[in-house]
Structure 1
Amino acid sequence: MIYIISKSNKPQYNIALEEYCFKKLLNHEKVFMLWINEPTIVVGKHQNTLEEINAEYVRENHINVVRRISGGGAVYHDHNNLNYTIISNEEKGSQFDFKSFSEPVIETLKELGVEASFTGRNDLVIGGQKICGNAQAYINGRIMHHGCILFDTNLGVLSKALEVPKDLIDSKSVKSVRSAVTNILPHLPRKITVEEFSEAILQHMKRKFPDMQEYVFSDEELAEIERVSQDKFSSWEWNYGHSPQFNITLTTRFTAGKIQVFATVKNSVIENIKFYGTFFGNNGDLSPVENALKGVRYTVEDVHSALENINTAEFFAGFSVEELTEAIIR
């Protein structure tokens, strides 16, 4: 068994790193990895990114959004959240399941004086409150299991970043189930840092697997991981463009009137859009505006840019481009 402690806090890099270990280090039957990200929302492979995040809050607070290669729901990471990954060559459906993968965390917490338990399909809890969600990916007899451990995470930011505005989205995608959560730190008899907690888990694993050795990547391997982190996990196409088709209905009231937007978006690109409301305009035929928005990426920047190329005052009297952008995307 080998172990890896990532020295990077960049989520795109860390997710590329674990994918590399999962898909490329095939001669190592078991891999253990610990990593900490800067503020980030990580969405599941099959999720509609825009349905999981508070896009305006995420943008204003410079929170990363990255899609992982495993299923499950969206989670929030920050510098006081610890992530662990276990990769193992196992037969699908074997006894090495979610619960078995979670044992290092449960056992380490017990050593630190905290009773945690496994519940439901894939959660760890303390006193009924979730401290860790888990997800898995499976390829050709190889399982990658990872968990997101809330150690001293800013739960206020977590709640706001994952809070989707109410007006929202009717979608075919897999929606996250929000759970009552808590941090580990308040439950510890002796207060420690997230780095000390990470070290405690590592030492537990070393005692359990005395032959475990740290893996040292070659320069070529590091270059490949960096390339994938940029080309795949930093790309809009991967992080947003894999979202399934969905319908959006938004209603916004401005000084100049109310605008209702009905949009169909596929792979995070506007496929069709219609405007209704109490606004006025010199031109009642809105098709030039609607056609100009078809094929535009469903981002604030791209929608704003498309609207700037139209004389919007002809159709929406008294509305600024910024207001129209807000009416279309939050």
Structure 2
Amino acid sequence: MAQTIMKQAVMSGVCVVVGLTRRTSARCLATTVKNLAAVKKDRELPVEGEITKSVFMSQSTDVYTNLALEDWMYKNMDFSNHHVMMVWRNDPCVVIGRHQNPWLEANVPILSEKDIALARRNSGGGTVYHDRGNLNITFFSPRERYNRKYNLELIKRALFRSFGIKASINEREDLIVRDKYKISGTASRLSRLTAYHHCTLLVNANKSDLRSALAKRETNATPSTPSSVANLVEMDNQVTVDNLQTAIGYEYLRTAALHLEDGGQNMISKQRGFQFVNPTDEWFPGLDKLKSELQDWEWCFGKTPDFTVSRSFPVPAELLAPSKVYSASQELAINMSVVKGLIDNVTLNIPPGFVESGFHGEASVITHLKGKRFTSEALTALQEAMLTRHLVTDIKKLDEKEQFVAKCFDQVVNTI
């Protein structure tokens, strides 16, 4: 049974927050919802000794729910005198940064095939893979007291104190072990009043799925910087997500709010402790709307910065005009520009041998692609457009040349 060291009820409107130093459940966590007008009018932050801390543990493993919870807290809670570290884990998913290109960063067809979710978060930074073998951590504080180095040093301390694992922080503010292996990436979001810094720790993630889910595509967009990664279980096979969560949670609670001073058990006893949180609309009014927005195609894919993609495909000899000798290689080239996730323009460069063998009508075909999503929707539109040319002959399938063109478009849209 969990032992209660401290129990404090704080009234705010009609809600009560209960803080415990051992794991327990807190029904309503909306007590620290901001009175924004008052906060903006008089922004005087408390001294360090007046700040308390909590460790929130999300009971959801759905990436959209957890990102929505993170966003809800960022928008609605006042962290002036109450700093929060949230720990959470997700079912398999790929999470891209706010300004990234999912088609560049992830192998989108593989994600669909393996039922791996793709989500775009509100913070910047690079692309990461999550599964139940990851521990995700979010540090919430007032904007003025945002301190990435403090947070990362705190994680370093917990790794060494509990498991004897030595980690370092590189120039990109990633956590590194054995001088080369990345165990954690980092990103943040800051507003005028509030900030959060979040990171993910690889504990026992499926590295095979990680490698297949993250991929590179040749476009003009800026990709993530790849790194050699390692799981913490490779450093110490006793590490689990649960005991790591506990270790970092207690390190957070035993450390002073503004500088890295270890206050031990005395400091822990002054905090609000560990709290299970249930990310539902009942607990956090408006959460379902935030989750719905994060799941929407327009957010996940439509927010992608404009990009272009170009691919060339050698035309098989059997599809070229017979008894011809060509001085140059016969390649079909496809150039495509994509705006807000939709195909904006397509050019199809057809080699002479393919034209002479009888492939025509490309202009009327590619005009049907404009405005289509950069997904299999575009391939379907292409196939339907080519089939319309057969109506007068009652042919209901594509010929070999059209099948080749369709296959090339499929590779542009659906493969790296």
TM-score surpassing 0.5? yes
Alpha-carbon distance in 2 for matches of 1:63, 1:223: 28
Partner of 1:148: 200
Give the unaligned 5+ runs of structure 1.
none
Alpha-carbon distance in 2 for matches of 1:277, 1:109: 58
Deviations 1:226-256 (A, max 9, x none): 23112x1101111111111111012345755
Identify which of 177, 180, 195 aligns with 2:228: 180
Partner of 2:167: 116
Partner of 1:8: 60
**Identity fraction in percent:** 28
* Structure number with larger C-alpha Rg: 2
Counterpart residue type for residue 79 of structure 1: R
Identify which of 342, 362, 375 aligns with 1:286: 362
Whether the aligned pair in 2 keeps the contact of 1:67 and 1:233 (CA below 8 Å) is yes
Identify which of 325, 339, 345 aligns with 1:272: 345
Q: 1:193 to 1:215 in 2, by over 3 A?
A: closer
Q: 1:195 to 1:254 in 2, by over 3 A?
A: farther
Whether the aligned pair in 1 keeps the contact of 2:365 and 2:386 (CA below 8 Å) is no
Partner of 1:329: 413
Q: Is it true that 1:100 corresponds to 2:150 in the alignment? A: yes
Q: For 1:127-276, what aligned pairs fall within 5 Å after superposition?
A: 127-128=178-179, 129-165=181-217, 168-171=218-221, 174-188=222-236, 191-208=238-255, 210=268, 211-213=271-273, 214=275, 220-230=282-292, 232-253=293-314, 256=319, 259-276=332-349
For normalisation by structure 2, the TM-score amounts to 0.71
Q: 1:97 to 1:207 in 2, by over 3 A?
A: closer
Counterpart residue type for residue 166 of structure 2: E
Deviations 1:154-212 (A, max 9, x none): 222212221224xx2112xx421111211111112x51322222222223223335213
Stretch moving more, 178-187 or 48-57: 48-57
Deviations 1:256-298 (A, max 9, x none): 5754210000111000011224545756232221110000011
Secondary structure of 2:187 counterpart = strand
Q: Is it true that 1:33 corresponds to 2:86 in the alignment? A: yes
Secondary structure of 1:83 counterpart = strand
Deviations 1:12-52 (A, max 9, x none): 11100111111111256422100111111111111122111
Secondary structure of 1:131 counterpart = strand
The root-mean-square deviation of aligned C-alpha atoms, in Å, is: 2.5
Counterpart residue type for residue 113 of structure 1: G
Partner of 2:19: none
Give the unaligned 5+ runs of structure 2.
1-52, 256-266, 321-330, 391-397
Whether the aligned pair in 2 keeps the contact of 1:261 and 1:327 (CA below 8 Å) is no
Cα deviation, residue 84, structure 1: 0.2
Whether the aligned pair in 2 keeps the contact of 1:251 and 1:327 (CA below 8 Å) is no
Partner of 2:95: 42
Alpha-carbon distance in 2 for matches of 1:266, 1:43: 18
Counterpart residue type for residue 341 of structure 2: S
Partner of 1:305: 380
Alpha-carbon distance in 1 for matches of 2:73, 2:276: 10
Counterpart residue type for residue 178 of structure 2: G
For normalisation by structure 1, the TM-score amounts to 0.88
Alpha-carbon distance in 2 for matches of 1:254, 1:195: 55
Cα deviation, residue 219, structure 1: 5.3
Whether the aligned pair in 1 keeps the contact of 2:366 and 2:382 (CA below 8 Å) is no
The count of aligned residue pairs is: 320
